[in-house]
Amino acid sequence: MSKTSFLLLSSLLLLTMSCQEKPNTNTSSIHYPISDTTEVVDVYHGQEVADPYRWLEDDLSPKTGDWVKAQNKITHGFLDKIPYRDRIKKRLEELMDYTKISAPIKNGAYTYHYQNNGLENHSVLYRKKEESDSAEVFLDPNTFSKNGTIALSGTFFTRDGALLAYMISEGGSDWRKVIVIDTENKAIVEDSLKNIKFSGLSWYKNEGFYYSSYEVPKEGSVLSGKTQHHRLMYHRLGTPQSEDRLVFGGPEQPFRYIGGRVSEDNRYLVITASHNTSGDQLFYRDLTRPESSIQALVDNTEHDFSFVDNDGDQLLVYTNYNAPRYKLIAIATETPSVENWKDIIPEAENVLSVSTAGGKLFAEYMVDAHSKIKQFDYRGRFEKNIELPGIGTIYGFRGKREAREVFYTFTSFTYPPTIFKYTLNDGQSTRYARPEVDFDPEKYTTEQVFYKSKDGTRVPMFIVYKKGLEITGKNPTYLYAYGGFNVSLQPSFSTERILWLENGGIYAQPNLRGGGEYGSKWHEAGTQLKKQNVFDDFIAAAEYLIDHNYTSSEYLAIRGGSNGGLLVGATMTQRPDLMKVALPAVGVLDMLRYHKFTSGAGWAHDYGTAEDSKEMFDYLLGYSPLHNLKPNTAYPATLITTGDHDDRVVPAHSFKFAAQLQAYHQGENPVLIRIETDAGHGAGVSLAKQLEASADMYSFIWYAMGVTPEIAQ
């Protein structure tokens, strides 16, 4: 849930399986681990709130460690006995065993791309000098650790490609290390930098680079300790990290998220700073004048501002200032006041995002959550529409100013990610690479429907399934959503989802309020005292699927991760009757204390905090999943998932929720927690761990529904 936030995502038919005997789903033999309770009471605005599982917040405690081991023993003991679990894993391995490559990018004399030749834990960075050359392995993260728990998490080349600074993540942590190498001989040129978090990296010439981080928590756990004041630092190559210079931020400028970027011509350093995940202040410094200081361009955090490029002394900035669906503006550094701002690409009917390559602007418009793209020059003059292969999602169109061709990737629910080369002078796209997946897209169909939420708001939803599927009302259906932090869920291809679809399942993905699909107003409609709108949208999506006979409550599974884990937690506590299976992943589940760990305080724009006001406290308490579990209640079959090294949404959220759920649940449905060891919030997870987790998830869904998948027949 960082500023760039990153993010997230993953879907069976009874008709093809109904003649099979249903598996035995009686779970009366499960004996959940005993979770001790303690007398911990907090007082908010005069109201006492008990927190009996507070001890599970201590991730360094041997008692917590023992609890984790006991829960995993029960969970894996249950999952391992599902008769078709191994067949599911084998099929997932078959589906994933194909060559996957990324779009190439030119750096210096070489063209680089990532490639995974099948079942490698991590994709390898390759390079070649000429198009006709064979690619050589340049950087192989599979050699970083024996068990795949160290991942490559970012690569940053100098403009001439002579140097590379790359980041690694250990055990899934958000804390990073930076290693700098000479690209010609791959020699490490200096000691590694440590303790870098929520950061990009931007080179100034070949002399050094800017990066961001926090002070490492001095007491308690580095994983769960609160990280409050972000700092933009400058590292001069060849000097120790202890001598790195504070450029902006820290206690004197207490922002929680700070980023710095050097313009491609090395003329400007542009800084964005924010207290929350939305709303930026904007600053710049003229690097051609050593005596210059940092100047403010925008001195409030009421809107979003993001630096795109510069055109001489004009800074091109992407913003939602007076434009809820975003626009691109030019700010002249000599006359930066608001009245002198100039629209380059004005706000349009659909949400805009902008990228650059070859001295051109590429404007992507999100039309009911799918992509359309136009080309402009730097003065905002329209040049051409770019034809796409169909309704789906594109990413790419990024390159240096001198580029004459640029690559982009197109994908959809039934269109594997395919790379195209776009030639700027004639506007022609040619297919560059398409993966050979064991999947026939002609056998599947995607619908987009619109349904009404509780308050009458019109919400879009994609529904994907096999052509010819008989819609019986008993089709196993996987409903996935997010609904927060201005994140948009667009059509995307998932190899793992093929398993669900080819076994007759239905996959549904609604675009809830709180996301960015229709701009900042859509986002704001799902925040703070309007957060219930998100849950209502999700519940209405499930009811639409049931009312239109796609499925029924006995064959519906809901899933979401991070903020989406909150979505699932709130939905299953408000409407435990609505679904058969609930899968909250790395979820924010304690809404009274989320802001007391790691970077959680920065999420207050979306959530608000219990300390803000009595009204905000009452509202949070009213939907907080942990606090709305009720005794003697039959909850859906639940598989909570988290990582023991998650330092974004700390695992204590899931630990406490699982303990309370197991204490209150009454019924035959299993309520389990699966805790991945040496794993974090999701990024950089090895393929082996991904396959294990997916096999467990799909097995759990089918088994809980009492369905034997076609693959097991």
Question: How far is residue 691's CA from residue 698's CA, in Å, rounded to a whole number?
Answer: 11
pLDDT at 216 over 90: no
pLDDT score for 130:
85
Under the banding of pLDDT at 50, 70 and 90, the label for residue 131 is: confident
pLDDT score for 220:
65
pLDDT score for 24:
52
pLDDT score for 225:
75
59 contact partners, CB below 8 Å, separation of at least 6 = 221, 223, 224, 644, 650, 651, 652
Under the banding of pLDDT at 50, 70 and 90, the label for residue 9 is: very low
384 contact partners, CB below 8 Å, separation of at least 6 = 374, 375, 427
pLDDT score for 25:
54
Q: Which two tokens stand for residue 54?
A: 């507070």
**Pick from 601, 661, 596, 600: nearest CA to 626:** 661
Q: Which two tokens stand for residue 466?
A: 């096999």
pLDDT score for 35:
96
Question: With pLDDT > 90 as the criterion, what percentage of the chain qualifies?
Answer: 86
pLDDT at 257 over 60: yes
pLDDT at 12 over 60: no
pLDDT at 683 over 90: no
pLDDT at 132 over 50: yes
pLDDT score for 14:
29
pLDDT score for 449:
98
Does the predicted TM-score (pTM) go above 0.75? yes
pLDDT score for 647:
82
pLDDT at 361 over 80: yes
Question: With pLDDT > 70 as the criterion, what percentage of the chain qualifies?
Answer: 95
pLDDT tens per residue across span 313-327: 999 999 999 999 999
pLDDT at 2 over 50: no
Region 59-88 average pLDDT:
95
Question: How far is residue 32's CA from residue 56's CA, in Å, rounded to a whole number?
Answer: 16
**Pick from 253, 284, 286, 288: nearest CA to 270:** 284
pLDDT at 310 over 90: yes
Question: How far is residue 124's CA from residue 164's CA, in Å, rounded to a whole number?
Answer: 15
**Pick from 362, 357, 382: nearest CA to 372:** 362
Under the banding of pLDDT at 50, 70 and 90, the label for residue 411 is: very high
Region 611-631 average pLDDT:
98
Region 390-415 average pLDDT:
94
Region 151-167 average pLDDT:
97
605 contact partners, CB below 8 Å, separation of at least 6 = 275, 276, 277, 278, 279, 527, 528
Region 518-547 average pLDDT:
98
pLDDT score for 610:
98
Under the banding of pLDDT at 50, 70 and 90, the label for residue 167 is: very high
First to last CA, the chain: 41
Q: Which residues are catalytic?
A: 562, 681
The string of DSSP letters for 514-576 reads TSSTT-HHHHHTTSGGGTHHHHHHHHHHHHHHHHTTS--GGGEEEEEETHHHHHHHHHHHH-T
Q: Are 388 and 431 in contact (CB under 8 A)?
A: no
Task: Specify the range with the lowest mean pLDDT, choosing from 278-282, 387-391, 526-530.
Answer: 387-391
Own/partner pairs, 399-406, CB within 8 angstroms, 24+ separation: 399/105, 399/106, 399/356, 399/357, 399/358, 400/106, 400/159, 400/264, 400/357, 400/358, 401/264, 401/356, 401/358, 401/359, 402/358, 403/106, 403/357, 403/358, 404/358, 405/358, 406/357, 406/358
238 contact partners, CB below 8 Å, separation of at least 6 = 189, 190
Q: Which two tokens stand for residue 111?
A: 């063209």
Mean pLDDT value across the chain: 93
pLDDT at 294 over 90: yes
Question: How far is residue 371's CA from residue 583's CA, in Å, rounded to a whole number?
Answer: 29
